Amino acid sequence: MKTTAFLLAILLTATAFAQTTTSVEKDPIKKIAVTGTAELEVTPDELYFSISLKEYFRDEKNQKDKVSLETIEKQLIEAVKAAGLPKENLTVSGVSGYREWTGRKKPQYFLAAKQFQLKLTNVHNINDLMAKVDDRGVEYVSMSRVEHSKKEEFRKQVKINALKAAKEKANYLLEAIGEKTGEVLEIQELEEGNYYPVYQAQYNVRMMAAEAAPAAGGSDLEYQKIKYSYRMNATFRIK
């Protein structure tokens, strides 16, 4: 029993010594983890408008002489064509209907409505375009969203700039303590932080036509810009 206990003690001592030696010989990786941020603001060059057309009666009181949706839609299509816009810039986004109430308890006719999305590059074009459509057949016109045609290029560049910012941060932090940045060990892309301005205002067609008049003069104001913002995490070895 004494011999067995002695041998077991020697084995445990040797194992502990081997583990200590291994941990001492294996140097821990010295590293630094930083976050880089970058952003870019650009003026949108794609403006998306929501347009809703509706049927109506020329004689609203007696609900007679209905102007069909096809007639009003044709006016819009011709206006888009006259503006020199590609036909794919105008798309159908929805179809609906309503009843015209004229004081009666029960309306006699069901009127159709149709919604479109129109892509433009200049907000002033909407004034000239909608002036060629019967305003009684226009339910509303509103700017729904804005975009930029080169958004993917901008996103890529901002991510690159954020990663460069992380590397620069690691450099100056390590230089402050007399160390140098080594190779990158890990890169992590964080959530996107893109900001798109949303225009909620709806425009009356008659008001837009008045604003487009020469007497009103032009405006040199810019649209609210789109902001692309990204963060990148990066871990570097310390030399």
Percentage of residues in the chain having pLDDT higher than 90: 55
Instruction: Provide the pLDDT for residue 63.
Output: 76
CB atoms within 10 A of CB 138: 22
* Domain range list for the chain: 28-43+149-196+224-239, 46-147
Q: How far apart are CA 23 and CA 25, in angstroms?
A: 6
Mean pLDDT of 147-165: 95
Give yes or no on whether 28-43+149-196+224-239 and 46-147 have one common fold: no
Instruction: Provide the pLDDT for residue 223.
Output: 65
Residue 167: band (very low, low, confident or very high) from pLDDT cuts 50, 70, 90: very high
What is the model's pTM? 0.69
Q: How far apart are CA 82 and CA 148, in angstroms?
A: 24
Instruction: Give the type of residue at 105.
Output: K
Cα end-to-end span (Å), the chain? 53
Instruction: For the chain, give the mean pLDDT.
Output: 80
pLDDT in tens, 58-90: 887 777 888 999 999 999 999 999 999 999 999
Residue 50: band (very low, low, confident or very high) from pLDDT cuts 50, 70, 90: very high
Q: Looking at domain 28-43+149-196+224-239, which of 3.20.20.220, 2.60.40.1760, 3.30.420.40, 3.30.110.170 is its CATH number?
A: 3.30.110.170
3-state secondary structure the chain: CHHHHHHHHHHHHHHHHHHHHHHHHCCCCCEEEEEEEEEEEECCCEEEEEEEEECEEEECCCCEEEECHHHHHHHHHHHHHHCCCCHHHEEEEEEEEEECCCCCCCCCCEEEEEEEEEEECCCHHHHHHHCCCCHHHEEEEEEEEEECCCHHHHHHHHHHHHHHHHHHHHHHHHHCCCCCEEEEEEEEECCCCCECCCCCCEECHHHHHHHCCHHHCCCCCCCCCEEEEEEEEEEEEEC
State the CATH architecture for 46-147.
Answer: 2-Layer Sandwich (3.30)
